[in-house]
Structure 1
């Protein structure tokens, strides 16, 4: 260790002792205050504040900060050392400078945006732009209150160039467990720009595999809660993720950032509950089995059910249907409560069409019927004697009930059934000619589903759209911010509907078109989403640098993209080298040979002390078969399917489409031969997804011939089993 490095390490060791001492003192003072358990509201608020500080201090004690920046503000004569941490630490006295600055604070942005150079820099603070010069940028690793690493990434006037990647590569080289981690200490400049973007815009983020887009989105939520704490609340934010297992995988990031109570759901679960249709949902595995099994190699077109039902042309049909139903809402007849007492149709129509026109169709119906009921009550007061009033009241109640049944049912499901011919349109008001362009296969399959009392995932966006058109939206149902992960799998209609549920177009929409393996329902270009918003209501960001995998794995995956996907966005790896990708031909496509090869690969990789190793198959059926065959040798191996809500880590076997968004120390592709994968863009994207799950090692097994885009002899791979 050089003298300069030793001096820096000792300086930081002394600082850590001082900071830990202050944390201990503040904790001791707070813990000395008796916990208030009474009913006085003011005291309850004070106690809540004390408890929040107790928890924050206890959480920061093992790792109070991760970075230091010496910044000389304009007008000052000496630089001030600023320590950056996950949470801020106030000084011991009121009015004293903070000891540790919260990473979300404006001045902390310098730590992420500054990448070297001696020019003057600026950051935006509430009081305006503040400029100055950076003298030192230092990464510091503290674990369990012990100083482990000190890396100077910039020293003003120093002869050595900035080494900003050294600390990043050290963190990336660590093995991962079964949870996604925060990246506060290693946020890169392009990621920080997204995290700190203004709230009221729809951010569309195209991020290559391993670019950290999911983690960036989670950190953005934490930033928004800090920056706009008077305008947003955690309870009014929601993350839409692809499945329950992925939600479990990311579940630790927000609590680690000190953020709780943000809703985390799948779109299917959220929409089905809002519509009250949970019991009608078909098993999503049926759809996946078709597209990833029987239909393997056939790229879906715009007439695929999900693509069509999520399109603008279908939305126009829904608009026409809802408008026709709403326009004909009031039955064309007067209401006669009893003989001689009639409410004219013109009066009822005036109420419906004019006085309540600002309400939804269902709301207008409800208010008109309530007003008719009040009219009956008022007229009954004028009826005498009492015996006649009772007679009229009984007759009016029966006629009121019968009259209400003549109004249309403004239920989204009822109208949806009528559109597809699964239920009659009793009043004949729907413009059937508008629905003639529904693809015949979609019409036939959907009609059968609806008659059988079954709806599929692709039916939820149009049903939710009809719900908005017919019933409106309650203020309590609106969100302050929505995150859509794996957004390439969402349809334009899904996003259009969700925009009605969020204030100010406040979205973080993230995905990767190169991982669009659910092309039967998702978008093929980001313009399909950006066109939903005005030009000043959205911004597009591209994250092209991959931090997950080694250079060899990313290079190999890029070969798949360049050879199999037109206009693909290739990843740029960080300079982290590892083993070459191993291509292994197990010589036969029969099941026994594949099982033996998979077992040998798992055994070798697991013995290398990886924490997470996954075996990826084309279909769920293949995963189940391999799991059963491998269990005698690997009793601890986990089988993952779409119903699971937890990822346990360790050894696992799962279909490739469920691995999206996850990452593993080592990955084995079970059989990448032409018996499983054709040469379409869709097949290339699927294998790209599987390969880019690997952090450190990737083995690709195959029983003979492989697709044309899978290079077995390139610079990034080698063939055959490793030497014993």
Structure 2
């Protein structure tokens, strides 16, 4: 059935409006300086106009809208990634974050929210191919659509197959995965979720589900923790929450900033396109290592890394820092022209005790002590009839006797120098003899000659935070949080003191030695104890066949997470004893979509070149996903590290359509079982 002419006419109107908006933005940039009242205003206005023009010019090639709402009172609205208006400023398309747009995600038969019809549009690239109407509250969906185009590979378009698995014990046998109990998805939503993916992560703005929408639109002051099983969209929820908060609280967050923290540069590159696609380019996307004061050039031993990442190191470093503050032993004497100001030791001791009782940061405390010393001298001067002003105060605060006193009593501390001194002689009693030996440098070094490790950078950042507060952010999205150590959490908490957090992760995917088995200790180290944990268990990207296999690993992992249940009944899993990696890759590349080969080590793998093929070690697979994943020797992945079984769980759940497991060695015991946890 052809798309109705009125829909095509409206689409043409929207595209013309977008072109007009771009022309208008360019014109405003060209003339903005002429309407500004002064140079400062002109510069500020120019930056704002250029930023808006940049957003419009870099708008990705995507449909201008994906849905529509027909309300019972006659109102009709299209919903898209950004607001589009006609020449008179009347909205043609509403931003998906607008309050009225929430009904597109939340309206249901039990609570229609005034919606009579919810319409979802189908697109092939930027070509409108059809639409699907859902009549609320009880009328079933009616689909209006042309015949689907043939795939680019020339294959016949496949129907959605039942989830199957070729079993490890019975070659060629099939296993139907259990169907999830969640409500079924509309056909257009299902097709969008299952569409093959090549390249970076896409936004899910057209397919956000009600429980995901609740998390996206949580209040700005609320810290949200999401325990998300593989394929449940937790990363997408975090990125869409960033976009929503910038829309709803733009003035506050543009000033305070929004930070997305990812586990690696590869991961950030994979998700980097999502926020620009949603119209948000003013979000900082970094790894934690990129925020720390020194770069890592060396690697710790496993024993040293465990000690340095332990929460006790915060107390160790705090004691080392404050041990450098010592009581005065000599009075202060300052010559001021014909006068001499003298402060005896008891008075100096009282000042020191008072400042320490206020528990300031180390750098702030030094300046408070300086100011109070000067205030005592000013009192003496005023008693002599003097009227010291600001210049006098500055001169006294910087005079040699005051500087020398401060350097003896409350010396300046450079964080790297303190950490270097500690690692040269780690004498704190909180550490055992074995722990002190693990972190002790073989020979003493200075901060200039030190070869810092990633954990050392955290120690330096901890000391720097005790001296002076680092720049903070209004909101921080922390992805793959289950792998964070206590010291990493503290580094994040220092940067989110006056803002809120979105904490995303999956305890089952924790692969670091310090990964917790429950969220409570991690949230406490992030400075958000008692934060409720919201589970996402409905898998939209990972099909049931894959989750059926991966869920077998949950019991041996011993983590407090519910098993995922996929809303998709498609997907294929094959166990291929002694299979050829090269032949399996060649077969996979005959289908559309992205392909990945994941192994404990990829050294020596010679595979056919293809832009759709990614070859990566298991340690770098976290957070990524591919249509077809080929896992090589699961036993090697398990044996490669202490949390190898967690790593294997990560690797298996990277597949969103097909999973091939090639092995010549016996499979791990959990995979040999054919029963997933219920």
- For the aligned pair, the TM-score class normalised by the smaller chain equals 0.7 to 0.9
CA distance in 1, matches of 2:374, 2:596: 65
Of 200, 218, 221, the residue aligned with 2:242 is 221
Is the 8 Å Cα contact of residues 517 and 558 (structure 2) preserved in structure 1? Answer: no
Alpha-carbon shift at residue 710 of structure 1 (Å): 1.3
Is the 8 Å Cα contact of residues 194 and 216 (structure 1) preserved in structure 2? Answer: yes
Is the 8 Å Cα contact of residues 417 and 447 (structure 1) preserved in structure 2? Answer: no
- Match of 1:182, SS state, is coil
- Match of 2:623, SS state, is coil
Is the 8 Å Cα contact of residues 520 and 530 (structure 2) preserved in structure 1? Answer: no
Is the 8 Å Cα contact of residues 412 and 466 (structure 1) preserved in structure 2? Answer: yes
Partner in structure 1 of residue 616 of structure 2: 654
CA distance in 2, matches of 1:169, 1:572: 15
Alpha-carbon shift at residue 498 of structure 1 (Å): 2.8
Residues 1:616 and 2:618 are matched in the alignment: no
- The verdict on how the C-alpha distance between 1:234 and 1:165 changes in structure 2, with shifts beyond 3 A counting, is farther
CA distance in 1, matches of 2:289, 2:260: 12
Residues 1:99 and 2:92 are matched in the alignment: yes
Partner in structure 2 of residue 719 of structure 1: none
- The verdict on how the C-alpha distance between 1:362 and 1:19 changes in structure 2, with shifts beyond 3 A counting, is closer
Of 7, 10, 13, the residue aligned with 1:18 is 13
Q: For 1:514-553, list aligned pairs within 5 A.
A: 514-518=508-512, 520-531=513-524, 538-553=531-546
Partner in structure 2 of residue 137 of structure 1: 118
CA distance in 1, matches of 2:528, 2:27: 56
Q: For 1:657-696, list aligned pairs within 5 A.
A: 657-673=619-635, 675-678=636-639, 682-696=643-657
Partner in structure 2 of residue 70 of structure 1: 70
CA distance in 2, matches of 1:190, 1:256: 22
Residues 1:242 and 2:263 are matched in the alignment: yes
- The verdict on how the C-alpha distance between 1:27 and 1:626 changes in structure 2, with shifts beyond 3 A counting, is same
Q: Residue deviations 1:438-474, cap 9 Å, x none?
A: 24443212111783523332344443233222x1316
Q: Residue deviations 1:347-392, cap 9 Å, x none?
A: 4444444369755323333565688799999999x9xxxxxxxxxx
CA distance in 1, matches of 2:539, 2:284: 28
Partner in structure 2 of residue 589 of structure 1: none
Gaps (5+ residues) in structure 1? 73-77, 122-132, 292-303, 383-392, 424-431, 587-595, 638-648, 717-724
TM-score normalized with structure 2 length: 0.79
- The verdict on how the C-alpha distance between 1:146 and 1:705 changes in structure 2, with shifts beyond 3 A counting, is closer
Partner in structure 1 of residue 663 of structure 2: 702
- Match of 2:196, SS state, is coil
Q: For 1:324-473, list aligned pairs within 5 A.
A: 324-326=323-325, 328=326, 330-335=327-332, 343-354=343-354, 359-366=360-367, 368=369, 406-407=408-409, 408-420=411-423, 422=425, 435-448=428-441, 451=444, 453-469=450-466, 471-473=467-469
Is the 8 Å Cα contact of residues 79 and 95 (structure 2) preserved in structure 1? Answer: yes
Is the 8 Å Cα contact of residues 152 and 163 (structure 1) preserved in structure 2? Answer: no
- Match of 2:253, SS state, is coil
- The verdict on how the C-alpha distance between 1:488 and 1:371 changes in structure 2, with shifts beyond 3 A counting, is same
Q: Residue deviations 1:568-619, cap 9 Å, x none?
A: 432111224032x111221xxxxxxxxx822222222123343x2222122x
Is the 8 Å Cα contact of residues 311 and 486 (structure 2) preserved in structure 1? Answer: yes
- Match of 1:201, SS state, is coil
Moved more, 705-714 or 260-269: 705-714
- The verdict on how the C-alpha distance between 1:515 and 1:40 changes in structure 2, with shifts beyond 3 A counting, is same
- Match of 2:455, SS state, is helix
Alpha-carbon shift at residue 258 of structure 1 (Å): 0.9
Q: Residue deviations 1:108-154, cap 9 Å, x none?
A: 1111112x316453xxxxxxxxxxx2211111134565212312244
TM-score normalized with structure 1 length: 0.74
Is the 8 Å Cα contact of residues 237 and 481 (structure 1) preserved in structure 2? Answer: yes
- Match of 1:555, SS state, is helix
Partner in structure 2 of residue 582 of structure 1: 574
- The verdict on how the C-alpha distance between 1:597 and 1:248 changes in structure 2, with shifts beyond 3 A counting, is same
CA distance in 2, matches of 1:202, 1:112: 22
Is the 8 Å Cα contact of residues 334 and 342 (structure 2) preserved in structure 1? Answer: yes
Alpha-carbon shift at residue 198 of structure 1 (Å): 0.7
CA distance in 1, matches of 2:315, 2:402: 35
CA distance in 2, matches of 1:221, 1:198: 12
- The verdict on how the C-alpha distance between 1:400 and 1:183 changes in structure 2, with shifts beyond 3 A counting, is same
Of 29, 36, 39, the residue aligned with 2:31 is 36
Alpha-carbon shift at residue 310 of structure 1 (Å): 4.2
CA distance in 2, matches of 1:314, 1:24: 57
Partner in structure 2 of residue 488 of structure 1: 482
- The verdict on how the C-alpha distance between 1:558 and 1:342 changes in structure 2, with shifts beyond 3 A counting, is same
CA distance in 2, matches of 1:219, 1:704: 42
Moved more, 187-196 or 675-684: 675-684
Of 109, 113, 116, the residue aligned with 2:106 is 113
Alpha-carbon shift at residue 402 of structure 1 (Å): 6.1
Alpha-carbon shift at residue 415 of structure 1 (Å): 3.8
- The verdict on how the C-alpha distance between 1:671 and 1:466 changes in structure 2, with shifts beyond 3 A counting, is same
CA distance in 2, matches of 1:29, 1:419: 60
Partner in structure 2 of residue 147 of structure 1: 128
Partner in structure 1 of residue 74 of structure 2: 79
Q: Residue deviations 1:654-711, cap 9 Å, x none?
A: 21121100111211112113x5525999332111100111121211111221211112
Of 586, 592, 607, the residue aligned with 1:603 is 586
CA distance in 2, matches of 1:20, 1:501: 42
CA distance in 2, matches of 1:232, 1:195: 16
Gaps (5+ residues) in structure 2? 143-182, 385-394
CA distance in 1, matches of 2:665, 2:475: 49
Partner in structure 2 of residue 261 of structure 1: 282
- Match of 1:192, SS state, is helix
How well do the aligned residues superpose, as a CA RMSD in angstroms?
A: 3.9
Is the 8 Å Cα contact of residues 563 and 708 (structure 1) preserved in structure 2? Answer: no
- Match of 1:542, SS state, is strand
Q: Residue deviations 1:515-535, cap 9 Å, x none?
A: 0011x1333310113345888
Is the 8 Å Cα contact of residues 184 and 567 (structure 2) preserved in structure 1? Answer: no
Partner in structure 1 of residue 173 of structure 2: none
CA distance in 1, matches of 2:528, 2:231: 29
